[in-house]
């Protein structure tokens, strides 16, 4: 009778296991423990060869189904004798009768992880054809089937679960229902993340096509899938009473979440926020560059012909605020730069750079004040896509935008004052305009010698930011250039800048009072450029 309980079945007991994995970490030990428990193992091509090479008995899926692997491995597990063995309800006489009639083996344990699609598309130069071949078909189907029937079947997608599953079978003879249900949830998260990565890849292809044919930007898909993979749990969030973790979103070469921590204490939530800012700013420059971050704003930044010199200039920008800051560098840290960072009076919480030389590591990890605490983060090669997507989470929603990249082409800037911009000021003007995009609005920066000397950030009025930047710069205001992330609503900021000795200004323009602002610059004989692009950072 349909629905009748089969007394001989035991939920969670494992007699037969199907194993087909691309990630073979820990598989030999896990499979050997299963074999020692008397569990019969079935597997496909590459996984079967791996198990056999490790001396573990395994049966060939193709021999069991009577159908060979074909189409270069595209078709191997999509067969009723496999899915029937996974989906069969052990307490239904009808299901059991079908299994007996068709000689279907009940698979009680399914161990599958998927083709490395995300790793493949992250490689430089990978073709669309290569990416398509890494879209797994049979794997997700096996996983979803096993997870659906978790009342009887255990499904394992992650090598980190091997020990728990084998341990429960060794100690209890079954995998507990709570474990099977947890594994089912992990399985669906795994397949959802996989599908989300594929969907994002195809969205990227669409964006590339739109660029190629000149389609207007701003067309967003109706649905977007975000797949987050936990990298680490953190000690706490912005404050000690807030639990926190860091997750990976996608796969971007040089991303902070994949950086190697070479030295120092555990990273905090605030460290990661500041490190991300330091990384982004320093890699915005082609020349050797250094930036010092404090509370997610740059308090010092500079470029130079050598990393050491850029670093020294960056710390000179605001030495008081730089104490205990986060340092971002866009070149390998060499011994000379490392020696500077260890000078008396300097202390930083963390340094992020593409890599550290052996000499630099020896210097930075043996100095007494660095030995135990300062974090050293190596990101490897960095890529900065001009259409990198940014997400800001709201309560119940998400804001999505292209990151604020590009728009710094000096050929597009417009001189609006009677006094022309002197050629010798262009390096500082260009540097200041690149930096102001990274400061919280209302943002004002003062720069000289391609380095920050004053920053005004996060104020409710622009004139307040001007005053703060001037105060920070002190006497260094004289001869400096000023960049503003948005237009000046009134000419009062120009008057204050002139009194402090500012010699040139760059801003987006677009105020109703632009003519008054231009007139103020003309009175003070200060050249000014309009860029036509705003750089708010909220």
Domain ranges of the chain: 16-199, 252-378, 406-530
User: How much is the pLDDT for 213?
Assistant: 40
Burial class, 357, CB count within 10 angstroms (exposed 0-12 / middle 13-18 / buried 19+): middle
Q: Quick check: is 148 catalytic?
A: yes
User: How much is the pLDDT for 451?
Assistant: 94
User: How much is the pLDDT for 424?
Assistant: 94
| CATH fold for domain 406-530 | Cytidine Deaminase; domain 2 (3.40.140)
User: How much is the pLDDT for 216?
Assistant: 46
Candidate list 13, 24, 81, 148, residue with the active-site label? 148
| CATH fold for domain 16-199 | Rossmann fold (3.40.50)
Candidate list 295, 496, 513, 537, residue with the active-site label? 295
74 vs 200: CA distance, rounded Å: 23
Contact, 44 vs 61, CB < 8 A?
yes
- Residues of the chain predicted below pLDDT 50: 1-8, 212-218, 386
pTM above 0.85, yes or no: no
Contact, 14 vs 175, CB < 8 A?
yes
* DSSP 8-state code for residue 94: H
Q: Comparing 16-199 with 406-530, is the CATH topology the same? A: no
CATH of 252-378, one of 1.50.10.10, 1.10.1270.20, 3.40.140.20, 1.10.287.3510: 3.40.140.20
- Please give the backbone phi and psi of residue 70, each rounded to the nearest 5 degrees, phi first: -135, 175
User: How much is the pLDDT for 521?
Assistant: 96
218 vs 93: CA distance, rounded Å: 57
SS (H, E, C) 142-206: HHHHHHHCCCCCEEECCHHHHHHHHHHHHHHCCCCHHHHHHHHHHHHHHHHHHHHHHHHHHHHHH
DSSP-derived 3-state class of residue 25:
coil
- Please name every residue paired with 20 in a beta bridge, in sequence order, or none if there are none: 112
DSSP strand pairing (397-402 vs 389-394)? antiparallel
The set of residues, in sequence order, having a beta carbon less than 8 Å from that of 441 and lying 6+ positions away, is 457, 458, 485, 486, 535, 536, 537, 538
């Amino acid at each position: 009778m349909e629905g009748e309980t089969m007394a001989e079945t035991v939920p969670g007991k494992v007699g037969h296991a199907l194993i087909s994995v691309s990630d073979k970490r820990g598989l030999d030990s896990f499979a050997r423990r299963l074999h020692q428990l008397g569990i019969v193992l079935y597997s496909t091509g590459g996984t079967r060869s791996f198990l056999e090479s490790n001396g573990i008995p395994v049966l060939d899926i193709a021999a069991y189904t009577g159908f060979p692997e074909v189409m270069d491995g595209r078709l191997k597990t999509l067969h009723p004798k496999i899915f029937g063995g996974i989906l069969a309800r052990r307490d239904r006489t009808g299901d059991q009768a079908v299994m007996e009639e068709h000689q279907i083996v009940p698979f009680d344990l399914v161990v599958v992880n998927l083709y490395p699609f995300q790793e493949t598309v992250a490689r430089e130069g990978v073709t669309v054809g290569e990416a398509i071949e890494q879209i797994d078909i049979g794997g997700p189907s096996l996983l979803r089937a096993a997870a659906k029937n978790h009342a009887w079947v255990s499904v394992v997608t992650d090598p980190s679960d091997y020990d728990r599953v084998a341990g429960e079978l060794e100690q209890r003879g079954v995998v507990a229902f709570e474990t099977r249900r947890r594994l089912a949830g992990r399985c669906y998260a795994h397949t959802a993340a996989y599908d989300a990565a594929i969907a994002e890849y195809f969205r990227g292809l669409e964006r590339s096509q739109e660029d190629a044919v000149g389609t207007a930007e701003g067309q967003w898909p109706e649905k977007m899938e975000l797949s987050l993979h936990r990298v680490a749990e953190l000690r706490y969030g912005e404050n000690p009473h807030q639990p926190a973790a860091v997750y990976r979103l996608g796969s971007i070469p040089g991303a902070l979440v994949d950086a190697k921590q070479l030295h120092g204490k555990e990273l905090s939530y605030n460290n990661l926020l500041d490190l991300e800012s330091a990384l982004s700013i320093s890699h915005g420059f082609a020349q050797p560059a250094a930036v010092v971050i404090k509370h997610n704003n740059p308090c010092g930044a500079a470029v130079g012909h050598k990393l050491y010199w850029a670093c020294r200039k960056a710390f000179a920008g605001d030495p008081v605020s730089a104490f205990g800051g986060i340092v971002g560098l866009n070149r390998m840290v060499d011994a000379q730069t490392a020696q500077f960072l260890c000078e008396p009076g300097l202390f930083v919480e963390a340094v992020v750079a593409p890599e550290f030389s052996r000499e630099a590591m020896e210097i930075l990890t043996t100095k007494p004040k660095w030995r135990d605490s300062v974090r050293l983060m190596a990101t490897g090669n960095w890529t900065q896509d001009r259409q990198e997507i940014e997400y800001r989470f709201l309560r119940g929603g998400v804001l999505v935008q292209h990151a604020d990249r590009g728009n710094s082409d000096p050929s597009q800037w417009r001189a609006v004052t009677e006094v022309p911009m002197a050629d010798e000021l262009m390096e500082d003007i260009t540097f200041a305009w690149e930096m102001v995009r990274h400061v919280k609005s209302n943002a004002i920066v003062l720069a000289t010698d391609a380095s920050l000397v004053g920053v005004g950030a996060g104020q409710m009025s622009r004139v307040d930011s001007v005053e703060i930047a001037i105060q920070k710069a002190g006497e260094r205001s004289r001869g400096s250039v000023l960049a503003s992330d948005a237009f000046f609503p009134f000419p009062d900021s120009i008057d204050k800048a002139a009194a402090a000795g500012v010699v040139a200004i760059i801003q987006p323009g677009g105020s109703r009072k632009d003519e008054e602002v231009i007139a103020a610059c003309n009175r003070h004989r200060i050249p000014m450029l309009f860029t036509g692009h705003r750089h708010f950072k909220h």
